[in-house]
């Protein structure tokens, strides 16, 4: 069920990745991140693809280091962390758009709360990227 009480139709569609990082699944994203049924499949695919490209760019150096070390594919923990980075980034992008899908009074209230939630999911994504890069949650530099 989505926020509106409408049943969600899960979309069995794969999004091809770069051959190193795992392919993504629209239905896995829908199930794991409880997306409203009102989102069009095209919107889900577009935002997932954009998030995948952004995370891949963030991880370019890490991927190069792994490949140089003889690693041909991420292990299961790295793959799961990668998917979290992409799915959270995609959800952060999608959340503010829900208010434009639903125009009832409750949508107005939801829209007021969305920026905080979008920032939260973007932070989850960045935490996952930093984990894959071998970095902690924050970086401090002595000036």
Give, for all 143 residues of the chain, the pLDDT tens digit.
445 566 778 989 999 999 999 999 999 999 999 887 788 899 999 999 999 999 999 999 999 999 999 999 999 999 999 999 999 999 999 988 765 555 555 555 554 455 558 888 888 899 899 999 988 766 677 78
Residue 24, SS3? strand
Give the pLDDT of residue 112.
46
State how far the Cα of 18 lies from the Cα of 137, in Å rounded to an integer.
26
The per-residue pLDDT for 115 is: 54
Alpha-carbon distances, residue 5 vs 2, 16, 36, 87, 101 (angstroms): 5, 31, 9, 23, 14
* Cβ 17 vs Cβ 2: under 8 Å: no
pTM of the predicted model as reported, rounded to 2 decimal places: 0.80
What confidence score (pLDDT) does residue 143 get? Answer: 81
């Amino acid at each position: 069920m989505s926020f509106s009480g409408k049943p969600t139709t899960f979309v069995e569609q794969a999004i091809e990745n770069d051959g190193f990082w795992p392919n993504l699944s629209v239905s896995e994203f829908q199930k794991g991140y409880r997306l409203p049924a009102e989102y069009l499949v095209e919107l889900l695919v577009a935002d997932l693809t954009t998030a995948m490209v952004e995370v891949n760019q963030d991880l370019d150096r890490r991927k190069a280091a792994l490949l140089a070390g003889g690693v041909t594919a991420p292990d299961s923990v790295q793959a799961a962390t990668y998917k979290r980075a992409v799915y959270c980034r995609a959800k952060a992008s999608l959340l503010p758009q829900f208010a434009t899908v639903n125009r009832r009074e409750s949508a107005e209230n939801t829209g007021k709360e969305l920026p905080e939630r979008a920032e939260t999911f973007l932070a989850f994504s960045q935490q996952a990227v930093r984990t894959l890069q071998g970095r902690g949650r924050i970086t401090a530099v002595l000036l």
